[in-house]
Structure 1
Amino acid sequence: MTLMTPRISLAFRLALRELRGGLRGFYIFLACIALGTGAIAAVNSVSQSITDTIETRGQEILAGDVRFELNNREATEPELGFLQGLGKVSVSTGLRSMARKPDGSDQALVEVKAVDGAYPLYGKFEAEPNYPLHTLLADQNGTYGAVAAPLLLDRLGLKLGDEILLGNVILNITGTVKTEPDAVSEGFGFAPRLIVSRKALQASGLIQTGSLVEHAYKIRLENRGDVTGIRERAAKEFPSAGWSIRTSDRAAPSLTENIERFSQFLTLVGLTALIVGGVGVANAVRAFLDAKRTTIATFKCLGAPAATIVLIYLFQIGIIALGGIVIGLVIGALAPIIASQFLAQFLPISTAPTLYPVALAVSVLFGVLTTLAFAIMPLGHSREVPATALFREQGFEAKGLPSWPYVVLAAAFLAALAGLAIATAHDRFIAIVFIGAIAFAFVVLRAVAAGIAWLAKRSPRVNSPALRLAIGNIHRPGALTPAVVLSLGLGLALLVTLTLIDGNMRQQLTGRMAAGAPNFFFVDIQGSEVNQFRELVKEHAPEGKLVEVPMLRGRILAFNGQDVTKMKVPPAGQWVLRGDRGITYAETLPENASLTDGTWWPKDYSGEPLVSFSAEEAKELGLKIGDSVTVNVLGRNITAKIANLRKVEWESLSINFVMVFSPNTFRGAPHAWLATLTDPTATAPEEAAILKSVTNTYPTITSVRVKDAIDIVNTLVAQLATAIRAAASVALMASVLVLAGALAAGNRARTHDAVVLKTLGATRKMLIRAFCYEYLILGAATAIFALFAGGIAAWFIVARIMRIPSHFLPAVAGSTLVVALVLTVSIGLIGTWRILGQKAAPVLREL
Structure 2
Amino acid sequence: MAWRDAKASRVRLLLFMASIILGIAAVVSIQLFSNNLKDNIKLQSKALMGADYTIDTRQEPTERAQAIIDSLQPDAKEINFVSMVAFPKNGGTKLVKVRGLDGAFPFYGSIDTEPSSAADTYQDLGGALVDATLMLQFDVKPGDSIKVGAITLPILGSLKAIPGSTAISTSVAPPIIMPYALMEATGLIQFGSRKEYQFFYKTAETFNLEAFEKIIDPQLKKEEADLDTHTSTSERLGKRYDNVGKFLNLAAFIALLLGCIGIASSVHIYIKEKLSAIAVLKCMGASRMQSFLIFLIQIAGIGVVGGLIGALIGIGIQELFPYLLKDFLPFSVEISISAQPILIGVFLGLFMSVLFALLPLLRTWYVSPLEVLRVDEKGAQEPFKVRVAVIAAVLIFYSCFHFGY
TM-score, length-scaled by structure 1: 0.44
Cα 1:232–1:258 shift into 2, 3 Å: closer
Cα 1:240–1:215 shift into 2, 3 Å: same
Task: State the shift of 1:301 in Å.
Answer: 2.8
Cα 1:353–1:50 shift into 2, 3 Å: closer
SS of residue matched to 1:285: helix
Partners of 2:151 and 2:346 in 1: CA distance: 60
Match of 1:329 in 2: 311
Deviations 1:572-612 (A, max 9, x none): xxxxxxxxxxxxxxxxxxxxxxxxxxxxxxxxxxxxxxxxx
1:135-154 aligned at under 5 Å gives the runs 135-139=121-125, 144-154=126-136
- 2:21 corresponds, among 17, 34, 47, to 34
Code of the residue aligned with 1:63 in structure 2: it is G
Match of 1:420 in 2: 401
- 1:92 corresponds, among 78, 90, 96, to 78
Task: State the shift of 1:252 in Å.
Answer: 4.9
Cα 1:233–1:123 shift into 2, 3 Å: same
Asked if 1:43 corresponds to 2:30, the answer is: yes
Partners of 2:247 and 2:28 in 1: CA distance: 14
1:443-842 aligned at under 5 Å gives the runs none
SS of residue matched to 2:281: helix
Match of 2:57 in 1: 70
Cα 1:153–1:372 shift into 2, 3 Å: same
Asked if 1:130 corresponds to 2:116, the answer is: yes
* Cα pair 1:45 1:335 within 8 Å, conserved: no
Match of 1:202 in 2: 184
Partners of 1:206 and 1:358 in 2: CA distance: 56
Partners of 1:188 and 1:43 in 2: CA distance: 27
Task: State the shift of 1:174 in Å.
Answer: 0.7
* Cα pair 1:93 1:215 within 8 Å, conserved: yes
* Cα pair 1:73 1:215 within 8 Å, conserved: yes
Match of 1:405 in 2: 386
SS of residue matched to 2:127: strand
Code of the residue aligned with 2:30 in structure 1: it is V
Match of 1:80 in 2: 69
Match of 2:159 in 1: 177
1:248-397 aligned at under 5 Å gives the runs 248-252=230-234, 255-344=237-326, 347=329, 354-355=336-337, 367-392=349-374, 394-397=375-378
* Cα pair 1:50 1:350 within 8 Å, conserved: no
Code of the residue aligned with 2:96 in structure 1: it is V
Code of the residue aligned with 2:229 in structure 1: it is T
Partners of 2:178 and 2:215 in 1: CA distance: 33
* Cα pair 2:368 2:380 within 8 Å, conserved: no
Code of the residue aligned with 1:54 in structure 2: it is I
Partners of 2:174 and 2:252 in 1: CA distance: 35
Cα 1:46–1:345 shift into 2, 3 Å: same
Partners of 2:211 and 2:370 in 1: CA distance: 78
Code of the residue aligned with 1:176 in structure 2: it is S
Partners of 1:71 and 1:272 in 2: CA distance: 44
Deviations 1:199-245 (A, max 9, x none): 12232122222322222323221244412212211135445133333
Match of 2:39 in 1: 52
Task: State the shift of 1:129 in Å.
Answer: 0.9
Partners of 1:366 and 1:73 in 2: CA distance: 58
* Cα pair 1:97 1:110 within 8 Å, conserved: yes
* Cα pair 1:45 1:360 within 8 Å, conserved: no
Match of 1:639 in 2: none
Cα 1:281–1:342 shift into 2, 3 Å: closer
* Cα pair 1:125 1:181 within 8 Å, conserved: yes
Cα 1:225–1:415 shift into 2, 3 Å: farther
Task: State the shift of 1:183 in Å.
Answer: 1.9
SS of residue matched to 1:297: helix
Cα 1:36–1:82 shift into 2, 3 Å: farther
* Cα pair 1:114 1:198 within 8 Å, conserved: yes
Amino-acid identity (%): 25
Asked if 1:15 corresponds to 2:10, the answer is: no
* Cα pair 1:37 1:328 within 8 Å, conserved: yes
- 1:244 corresponds, among 223, 226, 235, to 226
Match of 2:94 in 1: 108
Task: State the shift of 1:175 in Å.
Answer: 0.2
Match of 1:607 in 2: none
Cα 1:234–1:330 shift into 2, 3 Å: same
Code of the residue aligned with 1:226 in structure 2: it is N
* Cα pair 2:303 2:352 within 8 Å, conserved: no
Cα 1:319–1:245 shift into 2, 3 Å: farther
Partners of 1:99 and 1:317 in 2: CA distance: 67
Cα 1:67–1:313 shift into 2, 3 Å: farther
Task: State the shift of 1:165 in Å.
Answer: 1.1
SS of residue matched to 1:109: strand
Task: State the shift of 1:63 in Å.
Answer: 0.5
Task: State the shift of 1:73 in Å.
Answer: 2.5
Task: State the shift of 1:17 in Å.
Answer: 4.6
Cα 1:117–1:238 shift into 2, 3 Å: closer
Task: State the shift of 1:361 in Å.
Answer: 6.0
SS of residue matched to 1:183: coil
* Cα pair 1:297 1:390 within 8 Å, conserved: yes
Match of 1:618 in 2: none
Task: State the shift of 1:35 in Å.
Answer: 0.9
Greater C-alpha Rg = 1
Task: State the shift of 1:281 in Å.
Answer: 1.0
* Cα pair 1:376 1:406 within 8 Å, conserved: no
Cα 1:406–1:74 shift into 2, 3 Å: same
Task: State the shift of 1:408 in Å.
Answer: 1.1
Task: State the shift of 1:125 in Å.
Answer: 1.5
Task: State the shift of 1:259 in Å.
Answer: 3.2
Task: State the shift of 1:59 in Å.
Answer: 0.8
Partners of 2:164 and 2:357 in 1: CA distance: 50
Cα 1:132–1:68 shift into 2, 3 Å: same
Partners of 1:341 and 1:40 in 2: CA distance: 19
SS of residue matched to 1:100: strand
Deviations 1:287-320 (A, max 9, x none): 2212222332233234444244333322211111
Task: State the shift of 1:74 in Å.
Answer: 3.5
Partners of 1:292 and 1:186 in 2: CA distance: 57
Deviations 1:476-531 (A, max 9, x none): xxxxxxxxxxxxxxxxxxxxxxxxxxxxxxxxxxxxxxxxxxxxxxxxxxxxxxxx
Cα 1:334–1:185 shift into 2, 3 Å: same
* Cα pair 2:100 2:183 within 8 Å, conserved: yes
- Equivalenced residue count is 403
Partners of 1:352 and 1:303 in 2: CA distance: 59
Deviations 1:754-804 (A, max 9, x none): xxxxxxxxxxxxxxxxxxxxxxxxxxxxxxxxxxxxxxxxxxxxxxxxxxx
Partners of 1:245 and 1:18 in 2: CA distance: 69
TM-score, length-scaled by structure 2: 0.87
Cα 1:405–1:137 shift into 2, 3 Å: same
* Cα pair 2:264 2:357 within 8 Å, conserved: yes
Partners of 2:264 and 2:379 in 1: CA distance: 14
Cα 1:161–1:239 shift into 2, 3 Å: closer
Cα 1:218–1:364 shift into 2, 3 Å: farther
1:183-194 aligned at under 5 Å gives the runs 183-184=165-166, 190-194=172-176
Deviations 1:457-477 (A, max 9, x none): xxxxxxxxxxxxxxxxxxxxx
SS of residue matched to 1:245: strand
Task: State the shift of 1:250 in Å.
Answer: 4.4
SS of residue matched to 2:305: helix
**Structure 2 unaligned blocks of 5 or more:** none
